[in-house]
Amino acid sequence: VICTMTALVIVVTGVYSERVPTEITLGGGDLSWVSGDAGVGYEDVAAPAEILIQNGTHAAGSAVFVAWHEVALETLYTDEGRTQAFTGSVFPARGEAVDDEGNVYVSLWGMAIESGAPLTTYAFRTGLSPLGDWGHFVVIFSVLLFGISTAIAWSYYGDRCAIYLFGEGAVVPYKVVYLIMHLLGAGVVGAAGISLVWDLGDIALGIVILPNLIALVLLSGKIKELTDDYFERKPWKTSGKV
């Protein structure tokens, strides 16, 4: 329900394709390098040694573009107000940009398409704007409660599993590791962006599938045995329940 409602808000408000003022952190995980165009589509490519920017836009003939969430940026600025267009070079390996006067920038500004939490926040802020400028607080408060409740619930499920596998003495070590992973997760998001966390989550889910598939194969005979026994007994004839 939560995911459906969130998706509906994003779709109805139309912010999924809307560019918003964004600080482009040149060493951040949301930054990427693409080729192509808006009509055909963009494709991720390896970071070049240098990307030339002239008066805020990519130099004529550029094959690789600076992108935010895999969508090329149209104009880059040096200030938050987007009044000073950037002219110089972006150096992906160094995570910085140098203008034609030698000034070094670790972040630039531009109009970019957002994703994840920033996109959801912007969608609620836009959708509830007729009632006031507070829609984004709905997302912040909801995410806070969701994060706390999820952390508590998964901690409990995890320590029950630890007890089952290793005994009561495993609870404290498990909780210590659990808390450390929370700190590492927050650090990874800050350093590399939310996309890396989603990638790690996908890998973890893939790993979890393996023991489940093995269990299904090993227990398939038992499942058939129980199913055959159920239909042979036909308990619904005596109890009236299937």
Per-residue pLDDT reduced to its tens digit, 209-239: 998 999 999 999 999 999 999 898 888 877 6
Tens digits of residue pLDDT in 130-166: 998 898 898 889 888 988 998 999 999 999 999 999 9
Length of the chain: 242
pLDDT, mean over the chain: 87
Tokens of 217: 């194969």
Element (H, E) at 90: strand 88-91
Q: How far apart are CA 20 and CA 28, in angstroms?
A: 18
Residue whose token pair is 């779709």: 11
H-run or E-run covering 183: helix 171-192
> Can you tell me which residue has the tokens 């199913």?
227
The whole-number average pLDDT for the span 171-188 is: 88
Q: How far apart are CA 109 and CA 76, in angstroms?
A: 6
Please tell me the predicted confidence (pLDDT) of residue 79: 93
* pLDDT value at 70 more than 80: yes
Nearest by Cα to 108 from 141, 147, 67: 67
**CB-hemisphere CA count at 13 Å for 217?**
6
Assign 3 a pLDDT band (cuts: 50, 70, 90): confident
